[in-house]
Chain A
Amino acid sequence: MGGVLVEAVLFTITAVLGVAGGVGVIAARQPVHSALALLLVLMSLAVDYLLLDAQFIAVLQVIIYAGAIVVLFVFIIMLLRTAGEAPRPRAAPSMGFAAVLGTVMASALVAAATMARGPVAPVDAAYGTVQQVGRALFHAYALPFEAASIVLVAGMIGAVALGKRAHVVTAASGGAAEPTAARVAGTAGGTRR
């Protein structure tokens, strides 16, 4: 039964790393440190997904979250060049409220989690593979899948519209190739202002 021990050890490591990363996200002074801590949480969760026989979700987690979303965060942090938060902390009632709510919420949720009992359904080797999840996605969930594509297109159009808005004056004079240059110029102008 070596596999049992390996899984228990792996879960312990990922749980410790995940919680440490979570604390890092909310405690780091620099936003880029928060982004790296978030990356640690996401990779730990990807290992947890593998332990739960969800291979497809684990791969998606690494590609989409770690590969796309965290990189986008790092790009935006570089673009904004904010020097961290001002030393002025948030109002004391807010911090106290967050601490009290966090304690109550964590105890309530963990207490609820311990009540999750029940037999673990047996699964075969095909469980959680791309084939099985893809079949569910294209048969039972075909309509939500199409709706998801509309959400993504709306997100792309929204990002383009929001990106153009701040540079309307400079971009209006250019042709098809101009907006990129105008946008760079607008960014530099924005930080100089």
Chain B
Amino acid sequence: MTVPAPFYLALSAVLFTLGTVGVLARRSALIVFMSVELMLNAVNLTLVTFARLRGGVDGQVVVFFVLVVAAAEVVIGLAIIVNIFHTRETVDVDDVDLLRG
């Protein structure tokens, strides 16, 4: 680990912020979803960095669980988006803002 930890953490911070801005500013549900993935990956980078800093492997195990949850989340989320598209003909989050079918 020759590159100091703050560089990795700063990269992670920038990626997390980009993901947040994407969730707030974009209207396509698909791109909002990809921005969430961006945020998850930024957190993963932080976990791996601190795991290396401490010399422990626990952070990497947590990253494994984040991967599992992300996979399940993508499967369910995309299925919901497909269903919404079939009933509403849109994936625009501004058009789907009522909590009823």
Q: Which residues of A contact B (CB under 8 A)?
A: 3-4, 7-8, 11, 15, 18-19, 22-23, 25-26, 28, 31, 34-35, 38, 41-42, 45, 48-49, 51-54, 56-57, 60-61, 64-65, 68-69, 72-73, 76-77, 79-80, 82, 84-86, 90, 94-95, 97-99, 101-102, 105-106, 109-110, 112-118, 120-123, 127-128, 132-133, 136-137, 140-141, 144, 148, 151-152, 154-156, 158-159, 162-163, 165-166, 186-187, 190, 193
Tally of contacts, chain A with chain B, CB under 8 A: 258
Determine whether the beta carbon of B91 is less than 8 Å from that of A82: yes
Q: How many residues of B contact A (CB 8 A)?
A: 76
**Other-chain contact of A148, B16, B53, B68, B73 (Cβ < 8 Å):** B68
Q: Interface residues of B: mostly helix, strand, loop or mixed?
A: helix
12 new A-B pairs (CB below 8 Å) besides A127-B57, A132-B57, A155-B76?
Answer: A19-B14, A22-B15, A22-B38, A45-B44, A76-B82, A98-B20, A106-B17, A110-B13, A114-B10, A116-B5, A120-B53, A120-B55
B57-98 CB contact bits vs A (8 Å, 1 = yes)? 110110111011111111110111111011101111010000
Q: Chain A contacts of B81 at CB under 8 A?
A: 76, 80
Expressed in whole angstroms, the minimum distance between the Cβ of B34 and any Cβ of chain A is 5
Residues on the A chain within 8 Å of B44, using CB: 45, 57, 61
A151-B13 contact, Cβ under 8 Å, with A34-B34, A54-B51, A94-B24: no
